[in-house]
Structure 1
Amino acid sequence: MERQNWWRRGLAVGVVFLMAGCAAIEDATTPEADGKPSASASAGAGGGAAADGSALPGIPTAEQAEEELTGLKVAPHGSMSGYSRAKFPHWASQGENCDTRETVLERDGADVEQDPQCRAVAGKWTSVYDDETFSEAGDLDIDHMVPLANAWRSGARTWTQDKRKEFANDLTHPQLLAVSASSNRSKGDQGPDEWQPPSKTYWCTYSRAWVSVKATYELSVTEAEKDMLTEMLDTCTP
């Protein structure tokens, strides 16, 4: 009887190990039901501007932007004498037949297709200023977060031509983004005290980006500009 019980216990243990081994093999080899990566693996894939503006390069947190804002020089607008857009050469070549405009269109869009000349011939874009969506690249402008004329009035008039070219084609800082042509032209060269994105949900990102560019290039702000930037930064959630 003792030998029989020992044999039964051994058989039971063997069955448990066998079942566990089968489960492990199934877990290792069975694909997900839809054949797609998990949400965590695919998050952020496919390009396009994130809703919070995190696709903009070099954008600071609200806390960092508040600190940078306190350090900006406050001064009235300078003279527009001598200003010309030609003094801010754009759009510069970015290699492989691409210029700055086409590079931003590819970065800010989804499913963007480009021809051999790097022109966007298909894709989808959402203009974060007004929440409009587009499928034609020609309906979009590349906005300078801090407009060229605004930069001129706040310090760029003393820069070299090379530095102004760098500013006008800056892909490293949150200075360039693809938006609807109508919103870009409505904005013109106005500062945040004069024009704000119609989509108020973008105010937080807009103010963070604006402050970052002004701080990076050591440009001044007016009192009214600083007050409005403070108000816009207050819309950022902790």
Structure 2
Amino acid sequence: MRNTTKLLLTLPLLATLSCGGPSTGAEYESAPPGTPSAAEAADLLDELRVAPKGSMDGYDRDEFPHWAEAEGRNCNVRERVLIREGTGVDTGRDCYPTSGEWESWYDGETWTDPSDMDIDHIVPLGEAWRSGASEWTVDKREKFANDLDGPQLVAVTDSVNRSKGDDAPDEWLPPDRSTHCGYAAAWTGTKHKWELSVTTAEKKTLRDVLQGC
């Protein structure tokens, strides 16, 4: 169970957007592996193709098969992320965590029950679909949805993740302002790795955040 009462955090974007002050590095403490620095992400952002938001026609989460088996001990990708990001994690023979503690990167809340954690796709599956993944093969979409190497998967409070939905950064940013630099960098790094496009509004928000790091 969670250490404090579970809250659904839905702060207005303008109230949570952090665009000033020096970066302390704290925003990267729980960032996914492969998250570039703010300076690196700014360079990657310049290389992204700008295009209008695509159609959601034909989209279904089943077009992105997950969670795939992961190497070692019969674990799947979800379990691997929970093990990677938890503290003092013990698992059963099926690899599912039986104990541990998880701090949610998006809101700073601490949990001891893994069922209270969602594994978020930094770039949501629906957002990927409308920015280029609709043209991919199912095999490539499966690799994207199970990417343990890039900055694409992170364990966060379930209700906060669901408040995000398929929104891009110009529509939603994490409630904890200290994560904005890391989140914008992870988003940009993921879109660059998978050659997904950004909209004009999305690019502007990412640039504003990264310039304030």
Corresponding residue SS for 1:129: coil
Residue deviations 1:138-185, cap 9 Å, x none?
000000000000000000000011100000000000000000001100
Corresponding residue SS for 2:28: coil
The match for 2:95 is 118
| Aligned partner (choices 56, 59, 72) of residue 35 of structure 2 | 59
8 Å contact from structure 1 (residues 130, 199) kept in 2: yes
Residue deviations 1:76-106, cap 9 Å, x none?
1111111110010000001421000000000
1:132 partner letter: E
1:163 partner letter: K
Shift of 1:62: 1.1
The match for 2:62 is 86
Shift of 1:55: 5.2
Q: Is residue 146 of structure 2 the alignment partner of residue 169 of structure 1?
A: yes
| Aligned partner (choices 39, 50, 53) of residue 77 of structure 1 | 53
8 Å contact from structure 1 (residues 203, 235) kept in 2: no
Higher relative contact order (CA 8 A, sep 6+): 2
8 Å contact from structure 1 (residues 207, 233) kept in 2: yes
The match for 2:107 is 130
Residues 128 and 54 (structure 1 numbering): CA distance in 2 closer, same or farther, change over 3 Å?
Answer: closer
Q: Root-mean-square deviation (CA), in Å?
A: 1.1
Residues 108 and 51 (structure 1 numbering): CA distance in 2 closer, same or farther, change over 3 Å?
Answer: farther
TM-score (norm 2): 0.85
8 Å contact from structure 1 (residues 55, 108) kept in 2: no
Q: Aligned partners of 1:224, 1:108: CA distance in 2, in Å?
A: 31
Q: Aligned partners of 1:224, 1:91: CA distance in 2, in Å?
A: 31
Shift of 1:53: 3.6
Structure (1 or 2) with the greater helix fraction: 1
Computing the radius of gyration from Cα coordinates, the structure with the larger value is: 1
The match for 1:36 is none
Residue correspondences, number: 187
Q: Aligned partners of 1:144, 1:212: CA distance in 2, in Å?
A: 13
Q: Aligned partners of 1:214, 1:53: CA distance in 2, in Å?
A: 21
Which stretch of structure 1 is more off in the superposition, 55-64 or 207-216? Answer: 55-64
The match for 1:103 is 80
Q: Aligned partners of 1:54, 1:183: CA distance in 2, in Å?
A: 16
1:68 partner letter: L
Q: Which segments of structure 1 move beyond 3 Å, counting only runs of 4 or more? A: none
Residues 110 and 171 (structure 1 numbering): CA distance in 2 closer, same or farther, change over 3 Å?
Answer: same
The match for 1:15 is none
The runs of 5 or more residues in structure 2 that have no matched partner are: 1-25
Residues 52 and 184 (structure 1 numbering): CA distance in 2 closer, same or farther, change over 3 Å?
Answer: same
